[in-house]
Amino acid sequence: MTIHILSDELASKIAAGEVIERPASVVKELIENALDAGARDIRLEVRGGGQRLIRVADDGGGIAAADVPTAFARHGTSKLDSADDLFAIRTLGFRGEALPSIASVARVTMITRASDDAHGVIFKVENAQTLLYQPHGAPRGTVITVEDLFHNVPARLKFLKSPGAENAHIAEFVHAYALAYPQVRFSLVSDGKLVFQSGGSGKLSDVLLKVFGGEIARAMIAVASTENQTNSDNLQSLVSNLSVHGYVSPPSIHRGNRRLQYLFVNGRWVEDRAIAYAVTEAYHTLLMVGRFPLFVLNAQLPPDAVDVNAHPTKMQVRFREPNEVYRATQRAVRRALNEKFPVPTISFGTTALTDFRPPTSAMTNAALNLIPPAKDGQSQLGLENETLVPPLAHPIAPSSLPMLRVLGQIASTYIICEGPDGLYLVDQHAAHERVLYEKWLSEREMIFAAQNLLEPQAVELSPAHWAVYESERENLERAGFRIEPFGDNTILLRATPTLLQKREPRAALREILDLTDEGGNPIQAQAEARLIMSICKGAAIKGGQMMALDEMRALIRDLEKCNSPRTCPHGRPTMLQLNLMALQKEFGRLG
């Protein structure tokens, strides 16, 4: 086969495929151009999932009539002059690829007028060919209409989803940029119906109400942090100018996927798994395994500290000092959580606790012996609800608990305690996990000393268990296991941690391997801590286990001494509070 040069038309379509993947890609590029032009009002209309029509109108600075043809030429841009500019990008767009890429796969019409021009211009292009270019009356700003997307690339049409699915992708982009630019008013009309509109008030909290809904938005926790400290001279410029601000969800609001996680870098919506992981790590022990928080975070740093020219869609960036950005994000989120996170509270039916008052001395001394049953057969705790928002309650210091008096045990699983502001149900298994984990933090060598077995035991491991064993071998040794290879996928177990001395050794080891997370941490691997959490879970008192009153009292006293007594190391709550005010209302003692 001979080597030949592709035609300009084919080369343009290939290049367009790198930038324009679907209708939402067009929306993203046009919205970014409008924002770069200084628009304060951006109106978007789509039909047929964006394949039939996409129209973006803005009140930005517009384009001078003489520059319009150049704007549709490949690599025509006003945002770069030299190679040095490429490493200090201050705009969302910069390559000059968006408009020519769109024009090569759709019918495009632009009506624009710059501030200094007496009149506007209309420009039509199809298949990279100019069809119309003439003066046209128009207000300041730009209106771009994109019709019949991919009409000349039928193979791409086959990969589009249903109009509803494409509309969802488009809405996500609009939501993202409304969150990144709350000072801009965004409107989205889909098939003739207004489906989203932000107010442009400049308050991120107002946009949160529109995107997340009132219940979640009101529960979100504000994050505001500026890094002023530095560890080395070469990082001073970056760290001293790095800030992280936005909102994160409280630990009670979470999802099983990473949707509703919005990360912006200098106002650019990006995807960065490492930073998303850093945010999740900030919830360490506050969130259950496999659950993810919601967040809207914007990291501001010097333009020369981030490379935005890392991917054709500009959705991925590279940081000059990534660890500093990850740590700053993690610290900012953790600080906000420590300041705001309350103990979860049980609510009854429609009883609202938002008018809670500190209890009187009479209330404090009241003896509480009854827990009303759930109404309508539903769980009072609501733990399965992904967007559970705990009612406001009398706050408890983030790192302490009030003195609790043990009253008894229910279902051989929960310890009933009385506190100064109500009743507490303590999950004995989760509480014991927390106690054991914090003992390990302070007394590693003593609590995880190895207990030799009378006879070594051969353990055959599944491929999955073997992979965990191989990756965690050193940490298993430090935790008190003594293990030797003993053939294919078989090991010889000689000792186990003293914590597990009452467990059958082989079953205990397999459980620990099951519980140990194989995932890595891009910031700093905490494999040993993850393994110890698994051991603590395996050694902790189980649900359904009867406890003597003295044992329960000892466990509660140990829990009160913990630094983070409200959750187990894996993030499950150790307790739920039944507030006195709720009881008073349920029994009709309050008007």
Q: If you write DSSP's letter for every residue of 275-323 in order, what string do you get? A: HHHHHHHHTTTTS-TT-B--EEEEEE--GGGEE-TTSTTS---EESSHH
8 Å CB contact between 218 and 294? no
Could you tell me whether strands 120-126 and 129-136 are parallel, antiparallel, or unpaired per DSSP bridges? antiparallel
- Phi, psi (rounded to 5 degrees) for 270: -135, 165
Query: Is residue 414 predicted with pLDDT exceeding 60?
Result: yes
Count of Cβ atoms closer than 10 Å to residue 548 Cβ:
9
| From 15-24, 250-259, 421-430, the region with the lowest mean pLDDT | 15-24
Q: Kindly state the average pLDDT of the residues 494-509.
A: 78
Instruction: Note whether residue 209 is domain-resident.
Output: no
- List for the chain the helix, strand, coil content (%; round to 5): 35, 25, 40
Q: What is the CATH number of the domain that holds 195?
A: 3.30.565.10
* Higher pLDDT pick, 87 / 374: 87
* Dist CA 326 CA 522 (whole Å): 9
Question: In the prediction, which pLDDT does 511 show?
Answer: 73
Q: What DSSP state is assigned to residue 257?
A: S
Which of 143, 169, 199 is the last residue in one of the domains?
Answer: 199
Same domain, 56 and 103: yes
Same domain, 235 and 175: no
Could you tell me the CA-to-CA distances from 95 to 39, 71, 80, 317 in Å, in that order?
Answer: 20, 11, 8, 15
* Dist CA 34 CA 62 (whole Å): 9
Instruction: Note whether residue 465 is domain-resident.
Output: yes
Instruction: Note whether residue 138 is domain-resident.
Output: yes
Domain that holds residue 584: 342-591
Residue 358 — pLDDT band, cuts 50, 70, 90?
A: very low
Same domain, 333 and 385: no
Instruction: Supply the angle between the helices 527-539 and 428-442 in degrees, to the nearest 10.
Output: 130
Q: What is the pLDDT of residues 460-489, one digit of tens each?
A: 876 667 767 877 788 788 778 888 888 777
Amino acid at 574: T
Query: Is residue 9 predicted with pLDDT exceeding 70?
Result: no
Q: Kindly state the average pLDDT of the residues 169-191.
A: 94
Same domain, 387 and 258: no
8 Å CB contact between 59 and 39? yes
Q: What is the CATH number of the domain that holds 360?
A: 3.30.1540.20
Query: Is residue 350 predicted with pLDDT exceeding 60?
Result: no
Measuring CA to CA, which residue among 329, 285, 225, 232 is closest to residue 537?
Answer: 285
Q: What is the pLDDT of residues 145-164, one digit of tens each?
A: 999 999 888 888 888 888 88
Q: What does the CA dihedral 137, 140, 144, 145 come to, rounded to 10 degrees?
A: -50
Q: What is the pLDDT of residues 57-72, one digit of tens each?
A: 999 999 999 999 988 8
Q: What is the CATH number of the domain that holds 328?
A: 3.30.230.10
**For all residues of the chain together, what is the average pLDDT?**
77
Instruction: Note whether residue 36 is domain-resident.
Output: yes
8 Å CB contact between 279 and 248? yes
Same domain, 527 and 400: yes
Same domain, 326 and 347: no
Q: What is the pLDDT of residues 125-150, one digit of tens each?
A: 987 788 999 999 999 999 999 999 99
Same domain, 390 and 536: yes
Domain count, the chain: 3
Q: What is the pLDDT of residues 183-217, one digit of tens each?
A: 999 999 999 999 899 999 999 999 998 888 887 88
Measuring CA to CA, which residue among 205, 308, 209 is closest to residue 264?
Answer: 308
Question: In the prediction, which pLDDT does 129 show?
Answer: 84
Tokens of 202: 């400049």
Residue 521 — pLDDT band, cuts 50, 70, 90?
A: very low
* Higher pLDDT pick, 553 / 318: 553
Q: What is the pLDDT of residues 77-88, one digit of tens each?
A: 655 455 555 555
- Phi, psi (rounded to 5 degrees) for 246: 145, -145
Q: Kindly state the average pLDDT of the residues 364-384.
A: 32
Kindly report each contact of residues 407-412 with a partner whose C-beta sits within 8 Å and lies 24 or more positions away, as own/partner: 407/368, 407/369, 408/549, 408/552, 409/546, 409/547, 409/552, 410/371, 411/544, 412/543, 412/544, 412/545, 412/546, 412/547
Same domain, 495 and 518: yes
Which of 340, 372, 404 is the last residue in one of the domains?
Answer: 340
Residue 274 — pLDDT band, cuts 50, 70, 90?
A: confident
Query: Is residue 347 predicted with pLDDT exceeding 60?
Result: no
Residue with tokens 């009132």: 214
Instruction: Note whether residue 317 is domain-resident.
Output: yes
Query: Is residue 266 predicted with pLDDT exceeding 50?
Result: yes
Same domain, 549 and 405: yes
Residue 567 — pLDDT band, cuts 50, 70, 90?
A: confident
Same domain, 443 and 581: yes
* Dist CA 567 CA 286 (whole Å): 6
8 Å CB contact between 345 and 353? yes
Question: In the prediction, which pLDDT does 194 show?
Answer: 92
Q: Kindly state the average pLDDT of the residues 407-411.
A: 90
Instruction: Note whether residue 331 is domain-resident.
Output: yes
| From 197-201, 301-305, 541-545, the region with the lowest mean pLDDT | 541-545
Tokens of 235: 């990082």
Question: In the prediction, which pLDDT does 344 show?
Answer: 56
Instruction: Note whether residue 62 is domain-resident.
Output: yes
8 Å CB contact between 432 and 442? no
Same domain, 278 and 350: no
Instruction: Note whether residue 433 is domain-resident.
Output: yes
Which of 340, 364, 392 is the last residue in one of the domains?
Answer: 340
Same domain, 382 and 331: no
